[in-house]
Homo-oligomer: A and B are copies of this chain.
Amino acid sequence: MSYCVGLRLNKGLVFMSDTRTNAGVDNVSMFKKMFTWERPGERVITLLTAGNLATTQAVVSLLEERSKAPGDRDPDIMAVPSMFQVAKLVGETLTEVIGSRGTSGQKADSPFAASLIVGGQIQGGEPRLFLVYPEGNFIEASGDTRFFQIGETKYGKPIIIRAYNPDMSFEDAIKLLLVSFDSTIRANISVDLPIDWQIYESGSLHIGRSARVERDDPYFQHISNEWGTALQRAFESLPKFEFKP
């Protein structure tokens, strides 16, 4: 599994992903799951991946390769005119990759499925955020649902539901996602540090700040320890339950 979140704020977009991949429990390794295409001043596109690693790597490689072969008749992520077309292209590439594995050769027990989050901005359009399903179709984050999670999503969802607010600052959004990742990492061994994050500021058309949070990152360790105490305090602050006489 993996855990990735894409968040739409009024100020822009925030992306965060873990780096753990595993096939069973004895084949555990570390892979980056965040990929960015940028033409400064014109477009910034960020992709987060969860699911079968061979599938997601093939999708990223195909998108990458085709963006560097301008004569190719396949569509190019650096040339399509809108974020909607980007999401469509990513979905089609995913379908192509999964389809090419389906019918011949060794069969696998588990499907080659993957889920993707893709977001960014292309000149002339607004910043947009999409969730691409394993089937290649996709939905967009809008008014009511302004964040997407893929991979091991459940442990870290309650805190996002309660504390997310579209007006929040980039700093608060990163703090919120670190708490959500910490809850997930504590409950599930298939998600782990290091964590990558990146922000995109609306209208900038440049990659925003980004960083990798390592296991010994003092801020993350502090958040992780403090959150336990803060949760317990929050729990204690709730009115006591009393048996009815």
- Residues of chain A touching chain B, judged by Cβ–Cβ distance below 8 Å, are 154-159, 161-163, 170-172, 174-176, 178-179, 183, 186-188, 209, 211, 219, 222-223, 226-228, 230-235, 237-244
Chain B residues closer than 8 Å to A242, beta-carbon distance: 171
Contact A235 B176 (CB under 8 A): yes
- A241 with B171: in contact, given A161-B187, A162-B228, A162-B232 (CB under 8 Å)? yes
Contact B163 A240 (CB under 8 A): no
Chain B residues closer than 8 Å to A186, beta-carbon distance: 158, 161
- A231 with B157: in contact, given A238-B175, A241-B178 (CB under 8 Å)? no
Interface residue from B159, B187, B228 paired with A235 (Cβ < 8 Å): B159
What would 27 A/B residue contacts be, using CB atoms closer than 8 Å?
A: A154-B187, A156-B158, A158-B158, A158-B186, A158-B187, A159-B231, A159-B235, A163-B232, A171-B240, A175-B235, A175-B240, A178-B241, A179-B235, A179-B238, A209-B243, A219-B241, A223-B238, A223-B239, A226-B239, A230-B235, A230-B237, A230-B238, A231-B231, A231-B234, A233-B234, A233-B237, A234-B234
Chain B residues closer than 8 Å to A179, beta-carbon distance: 235, 238
